[in-house]
Amino acid sequence: MVSMDGRVFDRLSLGAEDGGTFRITPIRAPDELLVEALTASPPEEEGDFRLSDLAELGVLDSTIVLDIRYATTNNFMGEVFYSEPKAFLQRPAAEALVRAHHWLGERGYGLLIHDGYRPWYVTKMFWDATPEELRIFVANPANGSRHNRGCAVDLTLYDLETGSPVTMTGGYDEMSPRSYPDYPGGTARQRWHRELLREAMEAQGFTVYEAEWWHFDYEDWSSYRIGNERFEELGVG
């Protein structure tokens, strides 16, 4: 219990702030989920959509650093989901992100990307593996994700002088209140980093997701269909 101004609050435990990767215990076996997800189909959509024009971020600007967690086991499920450590966005979003990266460069920082376009079947795996009480942090495959449309990006900052990622108020994919973009805890420096990232991205037409400081949606996300192609099927550069 914590007392403040005569009021008593329950103490909320968020776990250790050790910088380690947040992990869940999947409620279903990943191998089983993969088979099921690959045989499922994304929700049908009606309307006039733009043609997909996914651009590879590392090709657009080689100074953008990639740490594609879902191409490794260093993620909240501890499984490999992507065949290649690459990041893609629809071209208008990708070009806007490069502009944000250059703006940050004038201030001694750069962008480090964790994820961009995400095939729908991976979103389905995330949802089906995650305990119900944590599903605010994963997209419902019945609706699709803005990652599936190539208009969402997960990212952080790195220091140009040291080449190291900065410290934020919470870790990437951490399913706790520390992930909220308005979380008041952490150090003043961590909150300043978080707000600098947000300022850079919002100036280029991105909006931060309400539960994840690292997740930004591009303004035209609804103009694109849900995609389900694997990276090796994209054939883009």
- Note the pLDDT tens digit of each residue in 19-66: 578 999 999 999 999 999 999 999 999 999 999 999 999 999 999 999
Separation between Cα atoms, residue 141 and residue 153, nearest integer Å: 17
The Cα–Cα gap between 211 and 176 comes to 9
pLDDT at 136: 87
1, 11 Cβ separation under 8 angstroms? yes
Residue 157 tokens read as 């900052």
Express each pLDDT in 86-98 by its tens digit: 999 999 999 999 9
Q: What is the structure's pLDDT at 3?
A: 36
| Residue type present at position 26 | P
- The residues spanned by each domain of the chain are 28-40+52-234
Residue 21 pLDDT: 86
3-state secondary structure of 188: helix
Q: What is the pLDDT of residue 6?
A: 44
Exposed / middle / buried, residue 153 (Cβ in 10 Å: 0-12, 13-18, 19+): buried
CB count in 10 Å sphere of residue 9:
9
Q: Which residues have a Cβ under 8 Å from the Cβ of 94 and sit 6 or more positions away? A: 55, 57, 60, 88
- For the annotated catalytic residues, the residue numbers are 212
Q: With a cut of 50, which residues of the chain have pLDDT below it?
A: 1-18
pLDDT at 91: 98
CATH class of 28-40+52-234: alpha beta
